[in-house]
A and B are shown apart, each in its own frame.
Chain A
Amino acid sequence: MKNKQRIVASMLIAMRFTAIQIVMSIVFAGTLFASEANSQTVLQKSFNITAEHVQLKKLIVAIEQQTKVKFSFSANMINAEKVITYTARNKRIADFLDEVLKPSNIGYQVINDRIILFPLINNPPKESTNKTEEKATSKAERTVSGTVTNEKGEPLPGVTVTEKGYTNTTITDEKGFFSIKVSGRNSILVFSSIGYESTQQPVAMASAVDIVLKATTQSLNDIVVVGYGSQKKKDLTGAVSSVNTNELKSLPVANIGEALQGRSSGVQVVSSGAPGSNVTFRIRGTGTINNSDPLLVIDGVPTDIPLNTLSPDDIASIEILKDASASAIYGSRGANGVVIITTKRGISGKSALEFKMFAGQQKADHLVKMLNASQFASLHNEMMANNGQPQNPAYANPESLGKGTDWLGALFQTAPIQSYSLAYSGGGPKSTYYVSGTMLDQKGIVYNTGYKRYTVQFNSESKVFDWLKFGNNLTLNHDAKYNGNYDIRNTMAALPVQPIYNADGTYSGPVGQASWYGDIINPIGKATVVDNTTNGYNVLGNIYTEITLFKDLKFKSTGGVQAVFWGNRTWSPKYNWQPIPQPNSYLFQQSNKSLTWLWDNYLTYDKYFASRHHLTLLAGSSAQNNRYDYMNGSVQNFASDNTQQLSNGTSQQTISGNASEWALLSFIGRANYTYDNKYLVTATLRRDGSSRFGENHRWGWFPSGSLAWRISEEKFMKPLKWVNDLKVRIGYGITGNQNIGNYSFASVLQTIQYNFNGQTVNAVVPQAIPNPGVRWEEVQQSNIGIDALLLDGRISVTADAYIKNTNNMLVPMSVPISTGYSDIIVPSINAGKVQNKGIELNITTHNTKGSIEWNTSFNISYNSNKVVSLNDSTPLYTGSIGLNQNLSIQKNGLPVNSFYGFVTNGIFQTQKEVGDYAVQVPGSDPFNRTSPGDIRFRDLNNDGKIDDNDRTYIGNPNPRFIFAMNNSFTWKHFDLGIFMQGVEGNAIFNANRIYQEGMAVAQNQTIAVLNRWTGAGSSNTMPRAIFNDPNKNTRVSDRFVEDGSYIKIKNVTIGYTLPKRLIQKVKMQTARIYLSAQNLVTFTKYKGFDPEVPVNGIDLNVYPVTRTLSAGINLIF
């Protein structure tokens, strides 16, 4: 690597002289005076005027009125507000131009009967300029002007106009007018604007052109951000999804992640209902049993900042790099795919003030139904009797207890959400800016939960000199997550026979024997009095410079900082409800800070050769490092509940803290080559060094290559007029995953405590068996894809197929307990393999045009996932839900996180059936053995007894298919969007049911237990109620595994855009109002709260996803 550095450095030094010359010539590119007027008649027109202290623009209007000659100019480029005094008697226009405008550095040109004004920039002092050079330059230069309109004839502001092959660029003003100096007679101008087809116009002799830009129906020329640069969509050779952010703009969601659900094939997004929590992404399946989260890159900076730091309103584009040929540029962090988010920037010449808001109501889609008081009491009596235990006399007459308390109803509520944002943006030819402030206030559907967020976004870019650009992105964020102190499962478990409040208004608690009255602490009381808040303060900022060294060579340097601070605070007053009072008021506070620095440097060389060859080269380096610190403390016993500060507590003080660091140093290279727009090649190479790996495994290479063939450019395809574009892509690459913890390589001793005779002493102990050889996980991915654009762009199809092999997957080393090293905190060894295979399809169609416009986009992805091998074939049991109960297994040949347990086989109806069957729980104690009404489990190994060896694979939490469809309609001023999304083929382990259908303790149960076994023939699915569950009917089995497939009408939005004629009076560009419904309807067989559960498929105490109905306004001035 030293060599490489030297090469870069010497290149830079060698460039110095040539670069200076080039830059000089660009900077001092001579003054251009108005060329000779083409039409003397225009210039000879005369006028009379007396103006004292008037603005130049008013003066020009007056002259226009007298002479009927039109002046065109951009207010951004010419200081027309300048106040002057001017008196004219029979002056010619030519005099005015020379006497008034020229001294103000305003040049002119006459086109037809119009006079175009433009600034004379950087007019150099003549004596210091090399005259011959100036002359040579200016001789070839001339100015081309004109207007750009859309197909409807409306002027288009903000269109970028560039001379092909050169760096001179301008943009159109509010009236669509532009004026650009071009280098010679054979110049070609390129007009480009987002949402329009880029157009090239030769301007051989013309000095004025009027251009009509066609709105893009397809996105071949869209710019796609690909990591350390961008590409045109048509030039992509890898699998990159670009999300249509237009579709996301009226979704009533707090987190952009939620809005991404279903928007791209191959990308599974699992949202969490808890306010302020983040979504989980799975790109092309679960690639590893470890951290499978993709890398997040915001404005070019790889970051671990939570996605909800950003306001969805500030996001301009989202790209998802799916295959290795695309993500290998991120090397040891690219294995799980990359999500690239770019925030909005100002557009030159297009000033806008945008106000957005929405407000809505959220509600739980579906609450699980629990037993009422009388149903519970009779269940309880039966449960105790079946175990030979005394019944609770208070439940002697169940009917008399009535409905009792609806605890779930008390915990869940209808909750408001509102969001406001204000952004102003714009810019001149040299600088652009985008500034926004947003505010979100979301209450949770669970009592005392919520989320508030405030953000400020400031992005700017300035061309300081023609060869030097500076820019910045800055996100400031403060958010507060009200985590509450809810326990959904305990709320289900609380007894309906217990009121929420005692007669004196205090919170009730179970009083008396736990087997009769339960032992659930009042969940509403806790949710009410305990305060648990996480406050975040986040800064994500970078500043960059781009230096044009040669015409084709640019150098970019980015310095970034990410400062993430968050603090958690839990306060509980003292309370004395049963069963476990809180004897002292209590405060816990935690403070975390994580600082990440980044410095990226790279050179980009972009060159067209002989018109058919296009070569782009990228070479650079990146250094990033992080330090994370935390401190926490707690204290108890406050004199007053009003003084909730750590200093006010008087007893049980504790304090702790720690810090950790990581660093990453990388070298990056990429080459793109295109021949004749037909054959495309991309190759990338990244070398990463990471502090997280053992000393001998610190550095790794991550290469990738991909090819594409645009068949539609071949001659033989030309007759097929209905094929507009057809491209096949093939790629292969190697990426890494270094999310393995910071210090797994180190052999360390931990300092802990013991004590003798009441005095603490230090103790030093080994923590985990060391693994100095630990290194990154490696993913090899092959991808083949096809992009097609058919029928005049009305149908676009993208299909991809991939095989993704994860090698060297880190699996916990199986350390025998007998070694004395922790068998829980174990090092990982690079020994596992996982494979994901899949097919993805995206189809976008423009079904109808005209008065009703109807567009459809549809995507579907299939993925199959399996563990190919693990360390020495020992399965790993994961998905712990408490005491030695593991639901999931990682085992060769099974999908990642497969459910593992017993298989049920109906219910024993008689004692004889029990006796004839394999031995389950034997014994002569009638209350402590398998009896009629208990579940019969399958004896899979036929050894005559039911034990751990009879467990097997009972379900796959990974969906087979994920799919989504969006239909959007516009009719006159109305628009309608219907978005559906779903998954198919996944199982959910409904672990809440272990407890709430267990019928083994004094906890409330769901109404499903009303169908319980009560005697021979009464049920073959729901077992008997028996205290203590001697047969372990609640053991991990397929009893609780449910089909997790669902289809959701995820969003319906109906909008109305006010007619232009109405809003123009108030100088408004756009005004739209809309109604939006999120998670409107769910079709599923799943019995729990909601089928959207965490990716491991375990539904235990999960905050359900909410249904939101909202209304919003979007105004642009």
Chain B
Amino acid sequence: MRTLQYIAAVILVTGISSCKKYLDKAPLDSINTANFFKTESDAIAAINGAYQPLQWPKLYNLRIWTSDIWAGNSIVGAGGGTDGIETQDIANFVTSTDNAAALDIWRGPAPGILRCNLVLKNVPAMNINQNLKNRILGEAYFLRSHYYFILVRLFGDVPLITEPQTPEDNLRPSRTPKAQVYDLIIKDLQQAINLLPDRSAYNGADMGRASKGAAMGMLAKVNLTLGKYTETVNLCRQVTGLGYALNTNYSDNFNPATKNSSESIFEVQYFGKTSYSFWSNENQASWVSTFTGPRNADFVAGGYGWDQPTTEFVNQYEANDNRKDKTLLYVGGPSFDNKQYQSSYSVTGYNLRKFLVPKSVSPDYDTNPANWPVLRYSDVLLMEAEASCELNNLSDALVPLNKVRQRAGLPALSGLNQADLRERIRKERRIELAFEGQRWFDLIRYDNGQYAASFLKSIGKTNFAPKHLLLPIPQKEIDTNPNLTQNAGY
């Protein structure tokens, strides 16, 4: 009968002692918010996290580059039918408020902004190396401004959130006028210019972090968008002063072997080998070769046949422009990876070559390590040309423009009037930066959107209406936050 005593004792003991701890089960795979932001590596890990949404298909891995399809440079192609329907809808200007691409782009920047805000809130009080602290804060300002710059151009007024939110905060802010959003963007970029080191200060595993030059170049683009041409020219020249130079070979901007090159000002970094699912947010591998490789052709691993250039676009190339063969696959063009292109691979007869990575480099669909160029020096040169042209300093404008043309193997331009030069600069941007997700932003920026309307009509996109200069605020977000208003016309 001693057993009974033992049973009683064990019940008593386990009951009392385990009562509290028995039910304490904390997650085993994650860090607690309470014990973070203590060390330098915490701060670095936090800012690294703020870069990461750039990698997502919601931004640079898919949605940003498919904006060239909206802009009429290309069609979705792909599997046909409803494959890429959300992109087709935007490109056909029948965008509805549940458009999945618009939702993606709305979603993409938000976690980045939160992560920047967490850094900006917690890092200043940390007791770490001051240079490192400055760099990290500078990176956070740069990234936050970049996320807002994407949002404000595509959606107009957006909620402006500059502090990390907790469940107790007002989670449902209304839209802030876009002028105020731009104010924050400019302020953040100026802070970033002050805090960030030159690119030359980075080496090894830090190459590719935001630098002073990146912040200047980005601020130049913000100013150009806002029509502040003098500031644009100044900033572009300051960037030049930091020692950036065009790659001799245009293709080196997209080649994984030459990532973060001398022409690169800011790139989204990809790695290629990853344990994450290709389709997840944390995908580490670039989608662009997989997506734009000709479909059913086995040119590259994957090969989904997206982003097929239109004949109208292809016809814009001047004779002897060496960028044509580096940008396009077409019948009669040079072979790719010893494979000959056939027109049946594409609806338009063309596919993209610019971003393709041969199987020897990326053996599988989810292994492409190529970085994505967000801002490169030729863009800065063309911004300087454009701003100078708008300021009517035509000879100043020709210098950077001809640098870009020279690399393309094209003759230097001279003796044009402002209107003609403006048109040549716009065309040069379209060709130089083709399919890099710049064209749509340029289209809606030129002449306050007038240019987009006439251009899109000229290529047969008759559904275009002024409302399409902005994407609709996703209905899903309005459902969750009724304080948001919809963009006019949607």
Which residue on B lies nearest to A743, using beta carbons? B27
Q: What are the interface flags for B460-490 relative to A under an 8 Å C-beta threshold, 1 for contact and 0 otherwise?
A: 1111000000000011110111000000000
Q: Indicate if the CB atoms of B22 and A623 lie closer than 8 Å.
A: yes
Within residues 873 to 897 of chain A, which ones have a CB less than 8 A from any CB in chain B? 874-875, 877, 883-884
Chain B residue with the shortest CB-CB distance to A19: B1
Asked if A514 contacts B295 (CB within 8 A), the reply is yes
Nearest-Cβ distance from residue A600 to partner chain B, whole angstroms: 11
Q: Which of B94, B115, B117 has the most CB of A within 10 A?
A: B94
Interface status of B81 (Cβ within 8 A of chain A): yes
Residues of A within 8 A of B259 (CB): 757-758
Tell me how far the C-beta of B350 lies from the nearest C-beta in chain A, rounded to whole angstroms: 13
B410 vs chain A, min Cβ distance (A) = 32
- Least CB distance from B329 to A in Å reads 14
Minimum distance in angstroms from A101 CB to a CB of chain B = 35
Residue B446 at the chain A interface, CB threshold 8 Å: no
Question: Once the chains bind, are B1 and A5 in contact (CB under 8 Å)?
Answer: no
Q: Is the CB of B295 within 8 A of A762?
A: no
Closest to B12 in A: A9
What are the interface flags for A779-823 relative to B under an 8 Å C-beta threshold, 1 for contact and 0 otherwise?
000000000000000000000000000000000011111111111
Determine how close the nearest CB of chain B comes to the CB of A814; give it in whole angstroms: 5
Find B55's partner among A751, A754, A822, A874 (CB 8 Å cutoff).
A754
Question: Looking at B25, B106, B111, B164, which has the most chain A CB atoms within 10 Å of its CB?
Answer: B25
The CA-CA distance from A823 to B275 in the complex, in Å, is: 24
State whether the Cβ of B249 lies closer than 8 Å to any Cβ in chain A.
Answer: no
Cβ contacts under 8 Å, A513 to chain B? 295-296, 344-347
Q: Which of A251-259, A580-588, A1056-1064 lies at the interface?
A: A580-588
Query: Contact check: which of B12, B269, B303 meets A580 at CB < 8 Å?
Result: B303
Q: Which of A277-285, A316-324, A660-668 contacts B (4 or more CB under 8 A)?
A: A660-668
| B29 contact set on A, CB distance < 8 A | 658-660
Residues on B with beta carbons closer than 8 Å to the beta carbon of A16:
1, 4-5
Whether the Cβ atoms of B15 and A5 lie closer than 8 Å is yes
A751 to B52 Cα, complex, angstroms: 12
Query: Does A691 contact B463, Cβ atoms closer than 8 Å?
Result: no
Q: Could you tell me the distance between the alpha carbons of A929 and B46 in the complex, rounded to whole angstroms?
A: 48
* A625 lies within 8 A of B82 (CB): no
Q: In chain B, what residue has the closest Cβ to A746?
A: B27
Return A357 CB to nearest CB of chain B, in Å: 44
- B42 CB-CB contact with A under 8 Å: yes
In the complex, chain A residues whose CB is within 8 Å of the CB of B305: 514
Q: Find residues 44-85 in chain B having any chain A CB closer than 8 Å to their own CB.
A: 44-46, 48-49, 51-52, 55, 78-83, 85
Q: How many residues of B contact A (CB 8 A)?
A: 120
A753 contacts chain B at the CB level, 8 A cutoff? yes
Q: Indicate whether A611 reaches chain B with its CB closer than 8 angstroms.
A: no
* Size class of the contact patch on chain A: 35 or more
- Which listed segment binds A: B30-38, B219-227, B420-428? B30-38
Q: B209: which A residues are within 8 A, CB to CB?
A: 756
Binary per-residue interface labels of chain A (19-46) against chain B in the complex, 1 for a CB within 8 Å, 0 otherwise: 1100100000000000000000000000
A757 near B207 (CB under 8 angstroms)? yes
Residues of A within 8 A of B164 (CB): 766, 820
A752 and chain B: residue at smallest CB distance: B282
For residue B26, CB closer than 8 A to chain A, the reply is: yes
A1001 at the binding interface (Cβ < 8 Å): yes
A753 and B209 alpha carbons, distance in the complex (Å): 15
The answer to whether A23 touches B1 (Cβ under 8 A) is yes
| Partner of B12 from A6, A547, A747 at Cβ < 8 Å | A6
Nearest Cβ in chain A — how far from B21, in angstroms?
A: 9
Q: Is the CB of A20 within 8 A of B1?
A: yes
| B81 contact from A6, A822, A1001, Cβ within 8 A | A1001
B255 within 8 A of A: no
| Chain B residues whose C-beta falls within 8 Å of the C-beta of A1028 in the assembled complex | 80-82, 88
Please state if B477 and A1001 are interface contacts (CB–CB under 8 Å). no
Q: Does B365 contact A (CB under 8 A)?
A: yes
Q: Quick one: which of B104-139 are within 8 Å of A by CB?
A: 106-107, 110-115, 117-118
Q: Name B77's closest neighbour in chain A (CB-CB).
A: A514
State whether B7 touches A557 (Cβ < 8 A).
yes
Contact flags (1/0) for A985-1008 with B, using CB distance below 8 Å? 000000000000010111100000
Taking the closest CB of chain B, its distance from the CB of A762, in whole angstroms, is 5
Query: Nearest Cβ distance between residue B425 and chain A, in whole angstroms?
Result: 31
Nearest A residue to B273 by beta-carbon distance? Answer: A652
From A1, A664, A766, B118 is in contact (CB under 8 Å) with: A766
Instruction: Let me know if B296 and A816 touch, CB within 8 A.
Output: no
A752 to B7 CA separation, bound complex (whole angstroms): 47
Known: A513-B345, A743-B27. A754 touches B205 (CB 8 A): no
- Expressed in whole angstroms, the minimum distance between the Cβ of B114 and any Cβ of chain A is 3
910-962 of chain A: CB within 8 A of chain B: 921-925, 928-929, 947-948
Given contacts A754-B269, A1028-B80, contact A883 B480 (CB under 8 A): no
A52 to chain B, nearest CB (A): 48
Docked-complex contact A762 and B48, CB < 8 angstroms: yes
List of B residues within 8 angstroms of A1003 by Cβ: 81
Bound-complex Cα distance A1082 to B207 (A): 67
Using Cβ atoms and an 8 Å threshold, which residues of chain A touch B434?
none
Q: Which of A655, A753, A757, A823 contacts B204 (CB 8 A)?
A: A757
**Are B11 and A691 neighbours in the complex by a CB distance under 8 Å?**
no
Given contacts A579-B296, A749-B31, A1028-B82, A764 and B36 within 8 Å (CB-CB): yes
Quick one: CB contact mask for B253-286 with A, threshold 8 Å, 1 for yes? 0000001100000000111011110000010100
Instruction: Chain B residues near A761: list those with CB within 8 A.
Output: 44-45, 48, 205
| Partner pick for A12 among B8, B159, B479, CB 8 A cutoff | B8
Which residue from B8, B100, B260 sits with its C-beta under 8 Å from A9? B8
B96 interface residue per 8 A CB criterion: yes
B364 within 8 A of A: yes
- In the bound assembly, the distance between CA atoms of A815 and B481 in angstroms comes to 8
A1069 CB-CB contact with B under 8 Å = no
Question: Contact partner of B275 among A519, A578, A654, CB < 8 A?
Answer: A654
B197 within 8 A of A: no
For the complex, is B86 an interface residue (Cβ under 8 Å from A)? yes
Partner of B161, one of A510, A760, A819: A819
Chain B contacts of A8 at CB under 8 A? 8, 11-12
Q: Please measure, in the bound complex, the distance between the C-alpha atom of A650 and the C-alpha atom of B143, giving whole angstroms.
A: 38
Q: Which residues of A contact B447 (CB under 8 A)?
A: none
Smallest beta-carbon distance B289→chain A, Å:
13
B11–A5 CB distance below 8 A? yes
Min CB distance, A637 to chain B, in Å? 8
Least Cβ–Cβ distance between A328 and chain B, in angstroms: 21
Q: Whole-angstrom distance from the CB of A774 to the nearest CB of chain B?
A: 11
- Contact B114–A820 (Cβ < 8 Å): yes
B19 contacts which of A2, A547, A817 (Cβ < 8 Å)? A2
Q: Among the interface residues A690, A755, A998, which one has the most CB atoms of the partner chain B within 10 A?
A: A755
Q: Are A765 and B115 in contact (CB under 8 A)?
A: yes
Q: Please tell me if the beta carbons of B207 and A756 are within 8 angstroms of each other in the complex.
A: yes
Complex-state Cα separation, A889 to B359, whole angstroms: 44
| CB <8 Å contact, B31 and A764 | yes
Q: How far is the CB of B116 from chain A (nearest CB, A)?
A: 9
Q: How distant is A747 from chain B, measured CB to nearest CB, in Å?
A: 5
Does B301 count as interface, using CB distance less than 8 angstroms? yes
Knowing A817-B480, A820-B114, say if A884 contacts B80 (CB, 8 Å): no
**Contact in complex: A763, B45 (CB < 8 Å):** yes
Partner of A819, one of B27, B32, B110: B110
List A residues 560-613 near B (Cβ within 8 Å). 576, 578-581, 583-584, 601
A815 near B36: Cβ-Cβ < 8 Å: no
Q: B9 and A9: CB pair below 8 A?
A: yes
* 6 chain-A/chain-B pairs, Cβ below 8 angstroms: A12-B8, A580-B303, A583-B359, A625-B22, A755-B271, A814-B479
Known: A8-B8, A519-B80, A771-B167. 18 other contacts (CB 8 A): A509-B296, A511-B296, A583-B364, A623-B22, A654-B274, A742-B25, A748-B27, A754-B49, A756-B206, A757-B259, A759-B204, A763-B52, A816-B172, A817-B476, A817-B480, A818-B110, A823-B107, A1030-B94
A-B CB proximity, top 5 nearest: A820-B114, A1001-B81, A515-B80, A763-B48, A765-B49
